């Protein structure tokens, strides 16, 4: 992967491969657990950028989502329960609600232990997925459409956990651990998908430890965009409002 740190050598952003996603998921699990270990009971109740969710709700969702990747049986069970919740939102939203509800009585310590266990089991299962199975096209419905299973198991689950770590840090005021190697690679993957989706000429400079400079549609004139790398991710994830090309969302 070529993460750009020099504004004199601009190139297109490149996405991560599946094995890189698994390494990133492992590191993300470690960083999230480290962040949670330093929170007070009051911080667990803090509201987040996710509508209606506190920090504890985010952790409950992440534990449940990880559990759904560990076994097909658990994924089917959550989907079945999600369908019973009615028609509000899409199935993924309703599965998220199942995950949060089922862990509503757990203490912060119990939630953290559950997340640690389910994340370990889920990551092991995701790593074992053979390439042929990862290539299986699945109809996710709008806005994802049909995507390979590996897109969900690699990119989306890892990206979701990363963005929720940002949510927790913002909600609690806790320090957000960022490095160019880990977070910079995740940001570049977001940039790559964003650029491929909008298809327009763009020179994007993202500042901060996780930033870089990239150009899409070589040779075409365009107004350069410049912003903080984390704010860029928050914007294209729908947590902050953007205009122009920044109104183009990316799945998280």
Residues contacting 215, CB < 8 A, separation 6+: 10, 11, 12, 202, 203, 204
Predicted confidence at residue 13, as pLDDT, reads 87
Predicted confidence at residue 139, as pLDDT, reads 81
Per-residue pLDDT of the chain (252 residues; tens, 9 = 90+): 334 333 334 588 889 999 999 999 999 999 999 999 999 999 999 999 999 999 999 999 999 999 999 998 998 999 899 988 876 667 888 899 999 999 999 999 999 999 999 999 999 999 999 999 999 998 876 667 888 999 999 999 999 999 999 999 999 999 999 999 999 999 999 999 999 989 888 899 999 999 999 988 766 557 789 999 999 999 999 999 999 999 999 999
Predicted confidence at residue 7, as pLDDT, reads 37
- With tokens 């993924």, the residue in question is 92
Number of neighbouring beta carbons within 10 Å of residue 80: 11
Domain boundaries, the chain: 18-172, 183-247
Predicted confidence at residue 85, as pLDDT, reads 84
Helix H or strand E encompassing 193: helix 183-198
Predicted confidence at residue 9, as pLDDT, reads 44
Predicted confidence at residue 205, as pLDDT, reads 95
Predicted confidence at residue 2, as pLDDT, reads 38
CA geometry: angle at 126 spanning 147 and 90, to 5°?
45
CATH number of 18-172: 1.20.120.450
Residues contacting 117, CB < 8 A, separation 6+: none
Find out whether 206 and 187 touch, Cβ atoms under 8 Å. yes
Predicted confidence at residue 142, as pLDDT, reads 67
């Amino acid at each position: 992967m070529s993460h750009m740190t020099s504004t004199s050598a601009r190139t297109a952003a490149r996405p991560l491969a599946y094995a890189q996603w698994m390494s990133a998921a492992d590191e993300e699990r470690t960083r999230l657990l480290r962040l949670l270990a330093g929170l007070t009971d009051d911080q667990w109740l803090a509201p987040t950028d996710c509508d209606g969710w506190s920090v504890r709700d985010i952790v409950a969702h992440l534990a449940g989502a990880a559990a759904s990747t560990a076994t097909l049986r658990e994924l089917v069970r959550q989907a079945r329960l999600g369908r019973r919740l009615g028609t509000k939102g899409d199935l993924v939203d309703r599965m998220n609600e199942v995950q949060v509800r089922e862990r509503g009585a757990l203490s912060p310590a119990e939630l953290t232990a559950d997340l640690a266990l389910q994340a370990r089991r889920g990551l092991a299962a995701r790593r074992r997925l053979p390439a042929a199975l990862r290539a299986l096209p699945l109809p996710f419905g709008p806005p994802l459409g049909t995507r390979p299973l590996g897109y969900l198991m690699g990119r989306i689950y890892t990206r979701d956990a990363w963005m929720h770590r940002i949510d927790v840090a913002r909600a609690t005021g806790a320090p957000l651990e960022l490095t160019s190697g880990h977070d910079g690679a995740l940001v570049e993957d977001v940039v790559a998908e964003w650029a491929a989706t909008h298809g327009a000429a763009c020179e994007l400079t993202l500042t901060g430890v996780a930033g870089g400079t990239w150009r899409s549609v070589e040779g075409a004139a365009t107004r350069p965009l410049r912003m903080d790398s984390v704010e860029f991710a928050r914007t294209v994830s729908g947590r902050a409002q953007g205009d122009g090309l920044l109104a183009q969302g990316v799945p998280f």
